[in-house]
A and B are shown apart, each in its own frame.
Chain A
């Protein structure tokens, strides 16, 4: 610990179990609660993908015990096409909302943003607590749709109109199942808006003395930018969900067109616009991709810096690039609708910024690459997953070039090419960011190291496994393999089934590798090697807390004072090749963004 001012902390830590561990106002506990929710959601979502993959590879083969999950959806253990779509919908929804948004942004952000700016907590702890519990309620509402007689909705995570608005006539789960889905997502929006409110005010208003915006660590910048995106995106998705719920339960016609006949039944709606839903949804949906990935950019930068032991090529450019990604993410959403029948000139208007958005993405990757060049990178689980993140981000991003062009997208749209693209760039990359953050910050969160050997085993199995699963998807897509089909047994897709079997085996193995991570996480939590306060010799404020894990008020009743950039590595100081932000020591080669 270095220089601290003597301002006293006014909040006393809670003593009751409920206030301490359940309805806690402490941002650190809330962060861990978010992480726990994301962990449960991730394994549940992965389990659903296993069932889907087994069904795709060995069609009509019974899956033992599946009938216990749903008698109607899997009679005799054989999945019906409708049940396949229901599992697919829930897999996508759970993963996008409750894992990729929750873990890198809400979990790590909650835990570390206040500490990295030097605050004792978020400015509105009650809103913060509400944010988690509303999100948790949203998850419960979503999963409860499994217990409906006709199961959850089958409309996909995009819930396109008009099937999201006409009721049970559209298929199993399209009645109450859709209402529960919409309610869940609307609640999720409320939770994330409350979270964004806290993140933005924490970043702007609670920085301690000396912590200028440019002295914020890159991870804090990433959470701040993400919260700005979330504020804009979720504030639009929520009204869209309200409109869909009204179409369902109140008989309005926002999304259902006239003379719509489904299953030989004329629908009692008129004049609605099906494209309206797509516009509202994708105005949220594309920024959501960046809400999932931008925190990863920050976390990976943070982890790499501590392990490279040198400055980033340009921290300022990296921050501007993340900001550019956030702004551009609102100008490209139409590329999801190239085949929706919209004006071809509109396609061009959306295609151009989609190609432009590759520029800040490329800048970020180049900064990482050239910063890594010549560095003596410390190889550990965290830095391996950070490197893996870059690999996945590049591999998944390159296929985006193809999809950004309307003429090519017309052929590739709704094929497995798209599935491979977004799983790599948004799913796996973001997951690798979560893993990098977990291995890096676990010692601070729990005061113990995770097992390094198991971490490396986990990395290599996940890295190789993810490529084995998702690279063949691109091949399948180019071969014309459409997505969202429950089986490929009857037509030209039959020759592709061996590829699907390979992917399924890879998915099962890679999924099993995650059990290594789960074991490591739980085992290390209780029996891991004790960690010192600053095990990675890192510089940012979370490593200068008086105890590990940090005390209730983070800095022991005092406020730290910041003297340096967050990443003063590769310098000569009294403690080694780094200077902590709280150290008043002057170093000769200091680079300060101020």
Chain B
């Protein structure tokens, strides 16, 4: 789990604060031109990865909103819906994913401190990232155990619409979690090479927390509807 730590990378400073009372961005709020000519306005935009992660989160939200509406419509359209008890391991998996969000937050703060040049306070900044990665892998493994348990009970994808939606939602979520694990590995590798930028870490953390929140929503949905 240990990693080679090189020199701390350059900190990616936050946007400089505008001095003319507006947001400082190119045009989010009405801009006040600085005194005199030429009429240039300040423009300090956020790093694209910060915006991009919200765009990704929005697209995934729309996708699961579509699945949710499909579930509600499908359940009410016919009497063939057969409820079943959710595998209890899902609750343990939920705890794992929530715990991984906490460890990632710890990791984010430690890495930020490390990148700020305070090396003496942080011996191994990647340690908590590895713990998060491990918890994430445990979550996916736990989901696989849940699918295996349902299979052993004779509940397959096409057995009933309730099981169809269970597999659909949990597998789609797990695939997105795997994407998040890929992001964590990317961050660890970048940190190892001392080329990590802070906004990359923040974007990965946001995505990971979203995966956790999405899973809690899906669990509630499945618990109520399945």
Residues of A within 8 A of B148 (CB): none
Residues of A within 8 A of B152 (CB): none
B37 near A210: Cβ-Cβ < 8 Å = no
Nearest-Cβ distance from residue A466 to partner chain B, whole angstroms: 35
Residues of A within 8 A of B80 (CB): 253, 258, 270-271
The one of A196, A207, A258, A564 in contact with B39, judged by C-beta atoms closer than 8 angstroms, is A564
Nearest opposing residue in chain A for B62, CB measure: A235
CA distance A212 to B38 in the complex (A): 15
A279 near B161: Cβ-Cβ < 8 Å = no
Residue A304 CB within 8 A of the other chain: no
The segment from B44-52, B107-115, B122-130, B215-223 that touches chain A is B44-52
Residue A200 CB within 8 A of the other chain: yes
The one of A202, A239, A594 in contact with B63, judged by C-beta atoms closer than 8 angstroms, is A239
Residue B40 CB within 8 A of the other chain: yes
B70 near A239: Cβ-Cβ < 8 Å = yes
A250 near B158: Cβ-Cβ < 8 Å = yes
Within A244-291, the residues touching B (CB, 8 Å) are: 246, 250-254, 257-258, 270-273, 275-276, 279-280, 283
B158 near A252: Cβ-Cβ < 8 Å = yes
B45 near A270: Cβ-Cβ < 8 Å = no
Residue A494 CB within 8 A of the other chain: no
Residue A113 CB within 8 A of the other chain: no
Residue A321 CB within 8 A of the other chain: no
Nearest opposing residue in chain A for B32, CB measure: A594
Residue A297 CB within 8 A of the other chain: no
B43 near A211: Cβ-Cβ < 8 Å = yes
Residues of A within 8 A of B63 (CB): 235-236, 238-239
Within B39-79, the residues touching A (CB, 8 Å) are: 39-43, 45-52, 55-56, 58-60, 62-63, 65-67, 69-70, 73-74, 77-79
- If A246-B157, A254-B70 touch, does A205 touch B41 (CB 8 Å cutoff)? no
Residue A336 CB within 8 A of the other chain: no
CA distance A382 to B77 in the complex (A): 52
Nearest-Cβ distance from residue B132 to partner chain A, whole angstroms: 24
Residue B89 CB within 8 A of the other chain: no
Residues of A within 8 A of B158 (CB): 250-253
Residues of B within 8 A of A257 (CB): 77-78
Nearest opposing residue in chain B for A209, CB measure: B43
Residue B33 CB within 8 A of the other chain: yes
B31 near A212: Cβ-Cβ < 8 Å = yes
Residue A214 CB within 8 A of the other chain: yes
Within A184-218, the residues touching B (CB, 8 Å) are: 193, 196-197, 200-202, 204-216
Nearest-Cβ distance from residue A126 to partner chain B, whole angstroms: 12
Residues of A within 8 A of B46 (CB): 204-205
Nearest-Cβ distance from residue B159 to partner chain A, whole angstroms: 9
Nearest-Cβ distance from residue B78 to partner chain A, whole angstroms: 3
The one of A205, A250, A258, A594 in contact with B78, judged by C-beta atoms closer than 8 angstroms, is A258
Residues of A within 8 A of B41 (CB): 209-210, 212, 594
Residue A240 CB within 8 A of the other chain: yes
The one of A210, A239, A276 in contact with B74, judged by C-beta atoms closer than 8 angstroms, is A276
CA distance A242 to B204 in the complex (A): 27
CA distance A342 to B161 in the complex (A): 23
Nearest-Cβ distance from residue A210 to partner chain B, whole angstroms: 5
How many chain B residues touch A (CB < 8 A): the figure is: 45
Residue A243 CB within 8 A of the other chain: yes
Residues of B within 8 A of A239 (CB): 63, 66-67, 70
Nearest opposing residue in chain A for B39, CB measure: A563
B48 near A254: Cβ-Cβ < 8 Å = no
Residue A592 CB within 8 A of the other chain: yes
Residue A551 CB within 8 A of the other chain: no
The segment from B2-10, B22-30, B181-189 that touches chain A is B22-30
- If A211-B26, A212-B41, A252-B164 touch, does A271 touch B52 (CB 8 Å cutoff)? no
A207 near B28: Cβ-Cβ < 8 Å = no
CA distance A429 to B103 in the complex (A): 54
CA distance A236 to B77 in the complex (A): 20
Residue B178 CB within 8 A of the other chain: no
Residues of B within 8 A of A584 (CB): 37-38
Residue A46 CB within 8 A of the other chain: no
B168 near A246: Cβ-Cβ < 8 Å = yes
CA distance A124 to B168 in the complex (A): 30
A272 near B78: Cβ-Cβ < 8 Å = yes
Residue A371 CB within 8 A of the other chain: no
A252 near B161: Cβ-Cβ < 8 Å = yes
Residue A561 CB within 8 A of the other chain: yes
Nearest-Cβ distance from residue A586 to partner chain B, whole angstroms: 6
Q: Mark B11-30, 1 if CB is under 8 A from A, else 0.
A: 00000000000000011101
The one of B37, B51, B59, B164 in contact with A586, judged by C-beta atoms closer than 8 angstroms, is B37
- If A207-B45, A239-B67 touch, does A200 touch B26 (CB 8 Å cutoff)? no
A205 near B74: Cβ-Cβ < 8 Å = no
Residues of A within 8 A of B65 (CB): 236
A271 near B161: Cβ-Cβ < 8 Å = yes
B43 near A231: Cβ-Cβ < 8 Å = no
Residues of B within 8 A of A556 (CB): none
CA distance A254 to B168 in the complex (A): 11
Residues of B within 8 A of A208 (CB): 43
A123 near B52: Cβ-Cβ < 8 Å = yes
Nearest opposing residue in chain B for A230, CB measure: B59
Nearest-Cβ distance from residue A139 to partner chain B, whole angstroms: 22
Nearest opposing residue in chain A for B64, CB measure: A239
B40 near A209: Cβ-Cβ < 8 Å = yes
A254 near B164: Cβ-Cβ < 8 Å = yes
Nearest-Cβ distance from residue A481 to partner chain B, whole angstroms: 34
Residues of B within 8 A of A586 (CB): 37-39
CA distance A201 to B48 in the complex (A): 6
- Could you say which of A210, A280, A584, A594 has the most chain B C-beta atoms within 10 Å of its C-beta? A210
Residue A232 CB within 8 A of the other chain: yes
- Could you say which of A206, A240, A253, A586 has the most chain B C-beta atoms within 10 Å of its C-beta? A253
Nearest opposing residue in chain A for B163, CB measure: A252
- Could you say which of A123, A197, A211 has the most chain B C-beta atoms within 10 Å of its C-beta? A197
Nearest opposing residue in chain B for A213, CB measure: B27
Nearest-Cβ distance from residue A41 to partner chain B, whole angstroms: 25
CA distance A270 to B161 in the complex (A): 9
Nearest-Cβ distance from residue A479 to partner chain B, whole angstroms: 37
Q: Mark A300-314, 1 if CB is under 8 A from B, else 0.
A: 000000000000000
B74 near A254: Cβ-Cβ < 8 Å = yes
The residues of A with any CB-CB pair to B shorter than 8 Å are 3, 123-124, 193, 196-197, 200-202, 204-216, 231-232, 235-236, 238-240, 242-243, 246, 250-254, 257-258, 270-273, 275-276, 279-280, 283, 561-564, 584, 586, 592, 594
What are 8 pairs between A and B in contact, CB < 8 Å? A196-B59, A197-B55, A200-B51, A214-B27, A236-B63, A236-B65, A272-B74, A273-B74
Closest 10 pairs (CB-CB, A-B)? A271-B78, A213-B27, A212-B27, A123-B48, A235-B62, A251-B158, A271-B80, A273-B77, A207-B26, A584-B38
Given A276-B74, A594-B31, 18 extra CB contacts under 8 A: A205-B51, A209-B42, A210-B39, A212-B43, A213-B27, A231-B62, A235-B59, A235-B66, A238-B63, A239-B67, A251-B158, A254-B74, A254-B161, A257-B78, A272-B78, A276-B77, A586-B39, A594-B30
